[in-house]
Amino acid sequence: MPKQDFVIERYDPVTERSYEQQFTAEYEPGQTVLDCLNSIKWTQDGTLSFRWSCRHAICGSCAMKVNGRSMLACKTQVTDIVDRGDPIRVAPMGNQKVVKDLVVDISNFLDAFERAETWLQELPDQDPPSREYRTDKEEFDRWSHTATCIHCGACYSDCTVVAADPKFLGPAALAKAYRFVFDSRDSKKHERLEFLSEKHGIWDCTRCFMCIEACPKDVLPMDAIMELRTEAMREGITNNHGSRHSNAFRGGVRKRGRLDEATLPILSAGVRLGAIPELIGYTPGALRLLKSRKLIMAAKRHGANREGRRQVRRIFDEVEAEKARSAVDAEAFAAERSSALMAH
């Protein structure tokens, strides 16, 4: 049987000491990192602690960092990650407090679901039907992939925003919120979108793609977050930094044919008294821009030439016309569909 070296990041809660320890495990092709961890635990060192249960990527227990990225140990085959005889490095998930060895405290991750109230909230004072609610298959197919989340925390572990802001709801809770926003059985769509548009919500995502890469179930959290942004703006929830930024970005490009870095932060903060502290906060950055002569450029009446601006505007017009057309189509389709459902 082939042999493989492992370097495991360990933590002893009694001495509060972190250290690395090297092990060598034999494996058969097809065996996983979890198989190797268990063989180490059962034949070499029983003190090694980690969570696992189902062995087939459904219980979500065994997310950990393997060679620096978060993944399920049970779903990761050794042969897929061996690299020129280098040891495989195993460490606990990131963005969460380590309890012992590869075991982390997942309470912050789970709290986000509670904060986002990710459970169905029916219409109050209305009895459900005697049978099931009818759910349009198109609607179901739109959100069903987000319902496959196994709450393993791999996305949360690799999220670059959680690293900077532990209060950020995180990819998994936001993807789950997406599901309820688009679930026609839920009555709180607008309230949900308002909450999600607040600080630590959808607008704080930096679109780094880490969650999409980490997710073992193809939930595509970042895509869900982007769709939530669009839906929030469509619902008129625009009194927040993120949507102002988005509008200012779009407006600037439409008007001038290119991005206007000088006015973007001012418009994003909003033309209002409350924005003053935020604007003052930008001063150091603005001074640095001035020093590197970037703001001088921006302050000039800059922009694309007239022909370029016309081209950009034409693109905008076409995209908007297309969107309007498809909105009419979608509405007609929905009307047709619901009358068909009622008739059934």
Partner 1 sequence: MLEHGVLIVGSGLAGMRAALEVSEDPDLDVALLTKVHPLRSHSGAAQGGIAASLNNSNDEDSWELHMYDTVKGADFLADQNAAEILAREAPENIFELEHWGCAFSRLENGLIAQRRFGGHTQPRAVYAADRTGHALLTVLFEQLFRRGVKVYSEWYALDLVLRDNVCQGVVVYDILTGQIDAIAAKAVLFATGGYGRAFQTTTNAAASTGDGIVMAYRAGIPLEDMEFVQFHPTGLQGSGILLSEAARGEGAHILNAEGRRFMEDYAPERMELAPRDIVARAEQTEIDEGRGVTDKKDSVFMDFSPIGEERIRYALPSVLHLARDFAGIDPLQAPVPIQPTAHYSMGGIPCDVDGMVRLKDQNDTPIVGFYAAGECSCVSVHGANRLGTNSLLEAVVFGRRAGRAIRTAVRDLAPTRIEEGDLQRAVAEVDRLLKGDGPERAGAIRQELREVMMIDCGVFRTRPQLENCLSTLKNLQERYQRIAIDDKGWQFNTDLVEAIELGHMLEYAEVIITGALAREESRGGHFRKDFPTRDDQRWHKHTLAYRTDDGPRLAYADVNMQPQYRDPFPLEERKY
Residues that bind partner 1 (CB under 8 A): 13-14, 29-30, 32, 41-43, 45-47, 49-61, 75, 77, 99-101, 103, 106, 113-114, 117-120, 122, 128, 130-137, 140, 144, 147-148, 150-151, 179-180, 183, 185-186, 341, 344
Question: 202-241 burial, b for 16+ CB within 10 Å, e for fewer?
Answer: bbbbeeeebbbebbbbebbbbbbbebbbebbbeeebeebb
User: What's the DSSP call for residue 225?
Assistant: H
Shortest distance, position 337 Cβ to partner 1, whole Å: 9
Report the residue number, 11 or 203, with the smaller CB distance to partner 1.
11
List C-alpha distances in Å: 105 to 109, 184, 222, 252, 259.
9, 34, 24, 45, 43
Report the residue number, 29 or 124, with the smaller CB distance to partner 1.
29
Sign of the Cα pseudo-torsion (233, 239, 242, 246, in order): positive
Residues 6+ apart with CB under 8 A from 247: 233, 238, 267
HEC readout, 132-180: CCCCCHHHHHHHHHHHHCCCCCHHHHHCHHHHHCCCCCCHHHHHHHHHH
Shortest distance, position 25 Cβ to partner 1, whole Å: 13
Q: Taking CA 303 as the corner, what is the angle to CA 206 and CA 267, rounded to the nearest 5 degrees? A: 45
Shortest distance, position 110 Cβ to partner 1, whole Å: 8
Ordered DSSP codes for 325-344: HHHHHHHHHHHHHHHHHHH-
Shortest distance, position 152 Cβ to partner 1, whole Å: 9
Shortest distance, position 154 Cβ to partner 1, whole Å: 14
Report the residue number, 32 or 268, with the smaller CB distance to partner 1.
32
Q: Are 187 and 121 in contact (CB under 8 A)?
A: yes
Report the residue number, 151 or 294, with the smaller CB distance to partner 1.
151
Report the residue number, 179 or 229, with the smaller CB distance to partner 1.
179
Report the residue number, 193 or 253, with the smaller CB distance to partner 1.
193
Shortest distance, position 93 Cβ to partner 1, whole Å: 14
CB atoms within 10 A of CB 55: 17
Shortest distance, position 34 Cβ to partner 1, whole Å: 10
Report the residue number, 126 or 305, with the smaller CB distance to partner 1.
126
